[in-house]
């Protein structure tokens, strides 16, 4: 996508206006532009090589060594969707995660459904279907898979903080579909997979099943739980077997456990930034 064309897109509403750890600047950098071809249609995006290489060692290796990509200044990523790369490009230039739909619908409901008494208490209207996280969670997972495959640590960290924030705001956890997708597309020892296991250990009570107000696909997944990723079920049952719910709660409160920090100074800096912009869990 040419940089100028971003200005002609429909307005988007940022999920979180807080700046993360990535603070890009176009001052005093190499102005070389490279082209990224995205998806089966090979849609072309142009982006400053220096910013891209600073954000990702993968692209640094591709564009700054004696590879064909470095000579041609073009690389093709057929396995990436244009929607995912749109968000990535915006993040590279702004440091902010932005999504092309109205995230003010988070926590609201879909028309036409009946709610249980507990869920009615959480919504202004009682004749709608609960949709606490909306589509943003799936889009974020796609972005995390991209950040994992293409080695973009600070983007993974910002996505993780976003999930953690919304988990606390809505006191909920990603659905079963997210678990299956994450364990299918990420290494099972990734911090995102660890987060899912600890989130379910903290919030999910298997004796209660799934609330009838949850989207219907979650009921289907719950009834077919034997088809869930064995690695996830093993890790989750191990947590239950160790009776470590308190430990899981503490880990969930210690957000930095999932952030891939290099050292204690890195952890302290992360906590300071989050405390300053209101994303506080694990900071105090």
**Are residue 87 and residue 126 in the same domain, yes or no?**
no
**Are residue 87 and residue 5 in the same domain, yes or no?**
yes
Q: What CATH number did the domain enclosing 30 receive?
A: 3.30.710.10
The residue out of 90, 115, 132 marking a domain boundary is 132
The residue out of 55, 77, 100 marking a domain boundary is 100
- More confident: 221 or 70: 70
| Residue 181 within any structural domain of the chain | no
**Are residue 36 and residue 13 in the same domain, yes or no?**
yes
H-only helix segments in 56-204: 57-64, 68-72, 82-94, 117-120, 136-149, 153-170, 176-185, 191-203
**Are residue 22 and residue 88 in the same domain, yes or no?**
yes
**Are residue 63 and residue 47 in the same domain, yes or no?**
yes
Q: Which domain holds residue 46?
A: 1-100
**Are residue 126 and residue 34 in the same domain, yes or no?**
no
pLDDT tens per residue across span 123-162: 444 434 444 455 677 888 999 999 999 999 999 999 988 8
Residue whose C-alpha is closest to residue 88's, from 74, 71, 100, 72: 100
As beta bridge partners, residue 271 has none
**Are residue 114 and residue 67 in the same domain, yes or no?**
no
pLDDT for res 100: 56
How crowded is residue 94: how many other Cβ atoms within 10 Å of its Cβ?
A: 15
Q: Is the pTM of this model over 0.75?
A: no
Give dist(CA 136, CA 103) in Å, integer. Answer: 7
Task: Read off the pLDDT of each residue in 245-266 and give the average, rounded to a whole number.
Answer: 70
Task: Read off the pLDDT of each residue in 114-123 and give the average, rounded to a whole number.
Answer: 50
| Residue 208 within any structural domain of the chain | no
Greatest mean pLDDT among 40-54, 100-114, 175-189, 197-211: 40-54
Give dist(CA 17, CA 165) in Å, integer. Answer: 13
What pLDDT band is residue 5 in, cutting at 50, 70 and 90?
Answer: very low
Give dist(CA 227, CA 224) in Å, integer. Answer: 6
């Amino acid at each position: 996508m040419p940089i100028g064309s971003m200005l002609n897109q429909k307005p988007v509403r940022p999920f979180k206006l807080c700046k993360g750890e990535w603070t890009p600047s176009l001052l005093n950098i190499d102005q070389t532009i490279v082209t990224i071809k995205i998806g089966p249609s090979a849609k072309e995006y142009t982006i400053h090589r220096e910013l891209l290489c600073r954000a990702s060692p993968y692209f640094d290796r591709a564009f700054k060594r004696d590879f064909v990509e470095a000579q041609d200044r073009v690389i093709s990523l057929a396995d990436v969707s244009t929607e995912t790369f749109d968000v990535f490009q915006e993040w590279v230039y702004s440091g902010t995660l932005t999504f092309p739909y109205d995230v003010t619908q988070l926590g609201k409901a879909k028309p036409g459904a009946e709610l249980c008494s507990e869920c009615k208490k959480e919504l202004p209207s009682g004749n709608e279907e609960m949709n606490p996280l909306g589509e943003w969670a799936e889009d974020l997972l796609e972005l995390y898979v991209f950040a994992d495959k293409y080695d973009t640590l600070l983007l993974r960290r910002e996505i993780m903080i976003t999930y953690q924030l919304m988990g606390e705001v809505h006191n909920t956890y990603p659905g079963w579909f997210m678990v299956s997708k994450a364990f299918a597309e990420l290494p099972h020892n990734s911090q995102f997979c660890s987060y899912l296991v600890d989130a379910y250990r903290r919030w999910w009570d298997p004796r209660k099943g799934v609330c009838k107000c949850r989207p219907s696909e979650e009921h289907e997944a719950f009834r077919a739980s034997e088809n869930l990723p064995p690695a996830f079920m093993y890790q989750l049952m191990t947590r239950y077997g160790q009776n470590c719910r308190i430990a899981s709660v503490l880990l969930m409160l210690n957000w930095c456990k999932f952030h891939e920090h290099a050292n204690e100074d890195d952890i302290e800096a992360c906590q300071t930034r989050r405390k300053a912009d209101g994303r506080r869990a694990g900071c105090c």
